[in-house]
Amino acid sequence: MPKNKTYKREVAIALLIWLAYVVEVKDANIVEVLVWPIFTFVALAFGIDWWGKSGDSLRQSTNEAPDGGRPKRGSKHPSGEGSEPDLR
């Protein structure tokens, strides 16, 4: 079954080309307003695409517990005695 295409990367490239046009012909104030939303969209479009294509290996490693899900051991036995004898 083919995936639906969202065209987010193509729109991002078109926005960058349009921004280059605006930089050349329009006032600097308009460019200051447009640059942050356009670059945010471009970064998200390519970043989400990369994350989606990276597969399950990246998602599993970020969702996995740092200790591998193992129970944590303390320095004391469950009975409350220390693991080493008191030599006093």
pLDDT for 53 equals 79
- Higher-pLDDT residue of 15 and 49 is 15
| Span 34-61, pLDDT tens digits | 899 999 999 988 887 777 777 766 556 5
DSSP letters spanning 12-52: HHHHHHHHHHHHHHS-HHHHHHHHHHHHHHHHHHHHHHHHH
**Which residue, 54, 44, 48, is CA-closest to 15?**
44
Q: Is this prediction's pTM over 0.75?
A: no
Contact at 8 Å (CB) between 51 and 84?
no
The tokens of 19 are what? 């921004």
